[in-house]
Amino acid sequence: MGTETLLVNASQDLASITDIATHLAFEIDGANRNVALGICRMLEGVQLLAGKVLDETHPVA
């Protein structure tokens, strides 16, 4: 598998995990909800990073 494919797959996986964590965050309350929302924020940051690396290494023509 090439780098571009791996980065695209990683970005899609991160988006899926973010959706799962977001759903979980709205099913729980209190401190656990804050933890789940924090995980969502971290995942979004990593997803942005993966997207930036993809854009820089494989720019769209």
Would you list the domain boundaries of the chain? 3-56
What pLDDT, on the 0 to 100 scale, is given for residue 23?
95
User: CA-CA distance, 41 to 17, in Å (whole number)?
Assistant: 11
Measured CA distances, 22 to 3, 7, 42, 51 (Å) = 28, 22, 12, 20
Give pLDDT, residue 60: 83
Instruction: Give the pLDDT of residue 61.
Output: 74
Each residue's pLDDT expressed in tens, for the chain with a length of 61 residues: 888 899 999 999 999 999 999 999 999 999 999 999 999 999 999 999 999 998 999 888 7
pTM: 0.80
